[in-house]
């Protein structure tokens, strides 16, 4: 079982801070900056931004998409990095996320290797949860293997091009729950203030029916209000920065904490 349990509640939204290190030295520095920080409830380690030794890539021309994917044939470097991160942040829950290029991430990975990586990370017991892209071809297998290891799953979906209709957002969040996720997450890109309202309305609608926590956000400057006030409408966590951001519109964690505290006052 994981050493930390994932506990999210829209009535008291959690602040999740991304770790975007590309190597162990950066990982150590970023973790040290977060250790003991009272504004940080969880960290999200972006595994796809980490650069493992490219084992298995020797027969693939450098610089090709398949070469990048081959670098993840062996999950051992990622497991070792997770162990280092967990040692540096013993009291902080970790969400381990491999964001694929299809969802705006920093690396490619073969479908079977994606499941194997999630299994290996979950098997350590050091991650409170793993992220699974709900539209990934092997999403069902990834969710199953994480649960078999006793690790919670945050199902995710990202739309960097637009904001879908409210009914579509609700349908995606519902589909994640039906697929077995423990948390349903969606991030969308607004083109107008009306798009932000769409995301908020969809969140509130799904929150009333959902049996699992939701994490929703409207990205970019237009959507910043959803990163502060999302809990009012049912979003149980927000992503904020201590250093590097991992998505458009993330705000400094210290300011987000102050805003959440203010909003939470009776």
> Annotated catalytic sites, by residue?
158, 185
Among 92, 89, 153, 91, which residue's Cα sits nearest to residue 121?
Answer: 153
Please give the structure tokens belonging to residue 10.
């829209």
Q: Determine contact, residues 186/216, Cβ cutoff 8 Å.
A: yes
| Cα gap 132→146, rounded to integer Å | 9
| Cα gap 52→24, rounded to integer Å | 10
Q: Determine contact, residues 125/131, Cβ cutoff 8 Å.
A: no
Per-residue DSSP letter, 42: E
CB atoms within 10 A of CB 53: 10
Please give the structure tokens belonging to residue 196.
């932000």
């Amino acid at each position: 079982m994981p050493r930390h349990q994932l506990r999210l509640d829209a009535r008291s939204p959690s602040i999740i801070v991304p770790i975007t290190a590309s190597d162990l030295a950066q990982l150590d520095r970023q973790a040290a900056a977060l250790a003991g920080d009272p504004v940080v409830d969880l960290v999200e380690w972006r595994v796809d931004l980490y650069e493992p030794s490219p084992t298995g890539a020797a027969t693939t021309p450098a610089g090709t998409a398949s070469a990048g994917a081959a670098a993840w044939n062996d999950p051992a470097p990622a497991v070792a990095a997770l162990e280092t991160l967990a040692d540096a942040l013993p009291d902080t829950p970790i969400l381990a996320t491999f964001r694929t290029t299809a969802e705006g991430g920093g690396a490619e990975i073969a479908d079977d290797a994606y499941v194997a990586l999630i299994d290996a990370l979950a098997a350590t017991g050091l991650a409170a949860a793993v992220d699974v892209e709900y539209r990934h071809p092997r999403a069902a297998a990834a969710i199953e293997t994480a649960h078999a290891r006793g690790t919670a799953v945050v199902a995710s979906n990202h739309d960097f091009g637009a904001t879908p209709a409210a009914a579509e957002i609700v349908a995606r969040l519902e589909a994640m729950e039906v697929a077995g996720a423990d948390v349903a997450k969606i991030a969308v890109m607004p083109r107008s203030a009306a798009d932000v309202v769409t995301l908020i309305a969809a969140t509130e609608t799904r929150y009333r029916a959902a049996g699992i926590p939701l994490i929703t956000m409207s990205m970019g400057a237009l959507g910043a209000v959803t990163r502060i006030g999302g809990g009012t409408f049912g979003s149980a966590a927000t992503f904020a920065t201590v250093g590097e951001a991992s998505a458009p519109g993330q705000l400094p964690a210290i300011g987000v904490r102050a805003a959440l505290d203010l909003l939470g006052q009776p």
